[in-house]
Structure 1
Amino acid sequence: MEVEEANPISTVEYGGAHLLKDQPISNDVILDEFHFDSVFPPTELAQIPTRDPSSLASFELLRKYGNGFKKLKGEIILSDKSAHESTPAVSHRLSTEEIMRVAGARYVQFPTQMSDDYLMPGHPFGFALSAAGLSEDETRDVELAHLLLAAAEKVSYRQYDRASRLLLRCEWISSAKANPVQRVVFRFAEALQERIEKEIGRATGKGVFEPNIDEIFQGFIISSHLPFLTVYKQIPFTQILLFTGIQAIVEKIAFQRKIHLIDIGIRCGVQWTILMQALAERRDCPIELLKITAVGSTGIEETGKRLANVAESLNLPFSFKPVLLPDMNDVKDELFETEDDEYVIIFAPHILGTMISRPTCLENLMRVIRNLYPSIMVVIETEANHNSPSFLNRFIEALFFYSAYYDSFDTCLKQYDADRMRMETVFGDAIRNIVAEEGAERNIRNVTMDVWRAFFARYRMVEIGFSEAALSQASLVVKRFACRSSCTIDKNGKCVIVGWKGSPIHSLSLWKFR
């Protein structure tokens, strides 16, 4: 990996993890007009054949996922893609995403092996799965996922009667309380049925569906709500992102005495006590002031009081300013009081992606950030493509993404069943929005880092690499978790990608402005 030099000499312990500390090391643009379609272009990964609706032979997106199955029983996927090694695989139950890959591969190979839209019992399809080493339970799960894919294809061709028959079978077999494959199928089948009801103009009886976007993304950042706190403690994704990002900030402010941190979308803010601890222990360059400007809609004042108490206990010069914004459309330059001698840091955790459906709002926020002349900007986002205008492409991308996430829930939250179910309900809302909604109502529109790079380039932002110390921080965090063998850390260019068994989940990137 190509990284910047860093010299870790000690650690600060917080919550069982360690934050690496480095020795101090020396170290007006007119924006183009923003066009949503050019920055977040329609991602057509595959064209569905119109002359043969029953076949997915040319559906390359599904083929891409299905082809990944050839590795599953023959290799162990390591955290560093540059160091992959082939080792004999031990017999294990396939993960949720692996089941979906098998189903995808089989659906590409056998798209028409149906009788009245149902898989035929005793068909060679099932024998082929058994011959491949799948257990009886795994074979049933693959066939269930196969049914779901068939239903999604029928929906894409507006064959709603046939799709509904398939979905009835899916809903009969699957359950929100069964194994993870069945739970994923249950959520996606529910979303497909809702899409059908909307398309044919039939009331669902569920009322207007308006997902709580803030609640959906709370699962990725520390929250005081018990289910989200359990996710933070038991699943490594959030801790990796936060500790690695804070490590990068500590390195960049080694010689700075006045630091202004602007957290866009702060919640309980406990992560900043780590930064406070590191600053309080500085001896060569004592801190004159740590200022935090917190942007949010509710509860910011309590967050400020807690952080002020921590700062006082550390004898750290500190100020806190809450910026209450019920709607990010209202963000303005004058809300942020910056000084010329401050080192300004922008921290944007899972906030930009929530505005993709509102391009004017996103453009305005980026212009405000640009006008603040920040020294660095830390961005955390979901690493997935849920913004394709092609319904079927979007469905498949979401199916594999949430299969990986549900698999992590099943592995890491075994002792927290109530919290897991709550989180899966929240994620179910996101699935319904991606699958069932279109237009302005479809506001879960995650995009990948490659798309963000194109977007940030419009604001003359330059990506910065992470140091060895920051990457070591990520590795230290992973080692604290029992599921460390399943959590992967890769690099995409200069950004860090945190994943589950090789499937990308979240990205962490660092930027400066030219």
Structure 2
Amino acid sequence: MTSTMFSFGAFNPVDVRENLDYNNQLDEKRTGESSLAETLNSDFGFYQDNMLESDSSFLKYQLPNQQENLLPTHHLLDDMNFDVDSPSLETCLKEIANLRSQPIGVQHGEDEKEKQCPFSLTSLELLKSYEHRSKKLDGDKFVEPSSNTALNGLTKPSLSAEEIIRLAGVKFIQTTSSVGDPLTAFGHSYASSFSALSAQEMKDAQLVELLLLVAEKVHYQQFHRASKLLNQCDYLCSNKGNQIQRLIFYFAKALHEKIDRGSGRIPVNACRKGWKPDPQVQMMCLTQSKIAYHQELPFVQMLQFAGVQAIVENVADAKKVHVIDLNIGSGVQWTILMQALASCYDRQIELLKITAVGTSSKHLIDETGERLANFAQSMSLPFTFKSVVVGDVLDLKEELFEINTEEAAVVYSQFFLRTLIPQPNHLESLMKVIRKINPRAMVVAEVEANHNSPNFVNRFIEALFYYGACFDCLEAFMSREDNNRMAIESIYFGQWVKNILATEGEERTVRNVKIDVWRAFFARFSMIEAELSSSSLYQANLVMKKFICGRFCTLDMNGRCLIVGWKGTPVQSLSIFKFT
């Protein structure tokens, strides 16, 4: 296959949006076995500027050809098994005991009716699952975040949200193992390791610790005590404060609802009528906040440019290209592809066909098709658009896509497969249809997080770290008073956090899993992961460098999958799969 790379300079997604007249827009892998002290110490000296010296130097990095260790596929689509096997509470306590000279336990003066149990938040899930970024992913890392030091080099770098959360976890362990009542813990003298924190960082760490205490009580259904602790959180957090205060604000709201549901204050029927995100509507409705998110944060653009590069390479010898998009959204990614194909001087593109799949919002999908058709016409690119809208994913059939044998077909899935995790039969049905289509490649962009555990504590920890990175990123790119930022945090992040933490069963529709789970799932359909080319990685790196705070983004390889992160915390993934 000829390696064809389009020029980044020709494509500006912001300009493309203006030209299109957009007015409104699966399992965790454990890492090294460091001790608690080693994990903590590594967090205070990692600031280094390892940015690439030049764009050309990026080309020297090659992806490793590693044998993938697939997870067991037995009952993989069972709702309970989309989660990594978590250690038992007893095992966690034994591990912690090995790291400390004294036993871990909660010794609260609670009502006798409330359980006196140690909390699994003190397990290695909190610390060892979020080790120093150099140990976090299995694979080669080629871009690290640089220091948050001011240009004059005199300002002390501030800690990331992930580090604040991890330090709060250490303090939580110290508090619950040595202090009788957590309400008086904030006057406790912590280890000298925390003396380097600024006054604000200490307050942030204490606020996170308080949230951990609330989660402990919620986990053991000690709702009265949890409510009292949560009231203190409410006084200290704010949706207009710094990233930690805003993060805690939305987690506190989610825990309030969790308590109300668990204590029966919200009737069962009312629970069933609660907020349920419709991914199709969310992707198709082009709001000002979504446009701002796309323009001012690099993650989506990084995956789009890298993904388009992979498509260009997989259809390099084709004159007719058929793209099947499972979640087209605004369609801006296809304007990038159009410009890439139009610039192919070695062959004449006879047709670009895009088929958009949906289960709702047909009129919005068709409007996107009209905008794309106008854009293609402006570039003199032969183009057709087709919408395949069915009432249910189970109704998708191969013949609906009208695949021509002369076409080079590719499937593009951006943040769609995760929406089917609550309905495993729908996910399997979709993959069987795709297998019959037999595309040259399937490009998959997904959230790199495990928010599908049946265990509340595991979901809480994963969500806290993940959304901590998201709020931290918004702090870097957008002002605190920015209305778009507040909308993103409230309408999207806040509602997703609430769904992850406060709901169970069918109501819990926000379910993300990591790349290892997707690998195991795709293996069931005789799919193997293809290698992302250095050109695709180059595109992602170029996009990253175009953002002022892009230096805090990280690009890591997990096997052959690209992981885009924020200050080392994985955020999104991009992978290419092919049928054998």
Q: Does the TM-score normalized on the shorter chain lie above 0.5?
A: yes
Q: Which moved more, 1:315-324 or 1:492-501?
A: 315-324
Q: Select 1:410's aligned residue among 469, 475, 482.
A: 475
1:200 maps onto 2:260 in alignment:
no
Give yes or no for contact 2:140–2:558 (8 Å, CA) kept in 1: no
**1:289-438 maps to which residues of 2 (within 5 A)?**
289-296=351-358, 297-298=360-361, 299-414=364-479, 417-425=482-490, 426-438=492-504
Residue equivalent to 2:536: 470
**1:1-80 maps to which residues of 2 (within 5 A)?**
6=3, 8=5, 13-15=10-12, 36-37=77-78, 40-49=81-90, 52=105, 53-54=117-118, 56=120, 59-64=123-128, 68=132
- Structure with the bigger RCO (C-alpha within 8 Å, sep 6+) is 2
Query: Deviation at 1:6?
Result: 4.0
Query: Deviation at 1:227?
Result: 0.3
Cα–Cα, structure 1 residues 213 and 49, in superposed 2: closer, same or farther, change >3 Å?
Answer: farther
Name the aligned partner's letter for residue 194 of structure 1. Answer: E
Query: Deviation at 1:80?
Result: 6.4
Q: Percent identity?
A: 43
1:500 maps onto 2:566 in alignment:
yes
**1:212-231 maps to which residues of 2 (within 5 A)?**
212-214=277-279, 218=283, 224-231=286-293
Q: Output the CA distance in 1 between the equivalents of 2:281 and 2:125.
A: 26
Give yes or no for contact 1:180–1:407 (8 Å, CA) kept in 2: yes
Name the aligned partner's letter for residue 260 of structure 1. Answer: H
Q: Output the CA distance in 2 between the equivalents of 1:155 and 1:415.
A: 30
- Structure 2 gaps, min length 5: 16-54, 56-72, 94-104, 106-116, 150-154
Cα–Cα, structure 1 residues 388 and 56, in superposed 2: closer, same or farther, change >3 Å?
Answer: closer
Name the aligned partner's letter for residue 304 of structure 1. Answer: G
Q: Output the CA distance in 2 between the equivalents of 1:429 and 1:348.
A: 23
1:260 maps onto 2:301 in alignment:
no
The aligned length equals 489
**C-alpha RMSD of the superposition:** 3.2
Residue equivalent to 2:234: 171
Q: Output the CA distance in 1 between the equivalents of 2:303 and 2:357.
A: 20
Give yes or no for contact 1:56–1:108 (8 Å, CA) kept in 2: no
Give yes or no for contact 1:216–1:430 (8 Å, CA) kept in 2: no
Query: Deviation at 1:142?
Result: 0.8
Q: Deviations over 1:350-392 (max 9, x none)?
A: 0000110111111111111111111110000000011112110
Q: Deviations over 1:13-40 (max 9, x none)?
A: 111799x9xxxxxxxxxxx997522994
Q: Output the CA distance in 2 between the equivalents of 1:477 and 1:87.
A: 19
Cα–Cα, structure 1 residues 176 and 49, in superposed 2: closer, same or farther, change >3 Å?
Answer: farther
Query: Deviation at 1:101?
Result: 1.1
Q: Output the CA distance in 1 between the equivalents of 2:408 and 2:241.
A: 51
Give yes or no for contact 2:477–2:549 (8 Å, CA) kept in 1: yes
Residue equivalent to 1:26: none
Name the aligned partner's letter for residue 472 of structure 1. Answer: Y
Name the aligned partner's letter for residue 411 of structure 1. Answer: A
Give yes or no for contact 1:333–1:371 (8 Å, CA) kept in 2: yes
Cα–Cα, structure 1 residues 34 and 317, in superposed 2: closer, same or farther, change >3 Å?
Answer: farther
Cα–Cα, structure 1 residues 35 and 103, in superposed 2: closer, same or farther, change >3 Å?
Answer: closer
Residue equivalent to 2:200: 137
3-state secondary structure, aligned to 2:385: strand
Q: Deviations over 1:157-199 (max 9, x none)?
A: 1222221111111112112121111111111111112111111
Query: Deviation at 1:491?
Result: 0.8
Q: Which moved more, 1:37-46 or 1:448-457?
A: 37-46
Give yes or no for contact 1:152–1:163 (8 Å, CA) kept in 2: yes
Q: Output the CA distance in 2 between the equivalents of 1:391 and 1:163.
A: 15
Q: Output the CA distance in 2 between the equivalents of 1:88 and 1:175.
A: 24
3-state secondary structure, aligned to 2:215: helix
3-state secondary structure, aligned to 1:485: helix
3-state secondary structure, aligned to 1:198: helix
Cα–Cα, structure 1 residues 478 and 405, in superposed 2: closer, same or farther, change >3 Å?
Answer: same
Q: Which moved more, 1:437-446 or 1:84-93?
A: 84-93
TM norm structure 1:
0.87
Q: Deviations over 1:319-368 (max 9, x none)?
A: 11111235434322232110112111100110000110111111111111
Query: Deviation at 1:115?
Result: 5.4
1:81 maps onto 2:145 in alignment:
no
Residue equivalent to 1:24: none
Residue equivalent to 1:155: 218
Give yes or no for contact 1:239–1:477 (8 Å, CA) kept in 2: yes
Give yes or no for contact 2:145–2:552 (8 Å, CA) kept in 1: no
Q: Output the CA distance in 2 between the equivalents of 1:38 and 1:200.
A: 25
Give yes or no for contact 1:97–1:400 (8 Å, CA) kept in 2: yes
Name the aligned partner's letter for residue 298 of structure 2. Answer: P
Name the aligned partner's letter for residue 248 of structure 2. Answer: V
Cα–Cα, structure 1 residues 113 and 190, in superposed 2: closer, same or farther, change >3 Å?
Answer: farther
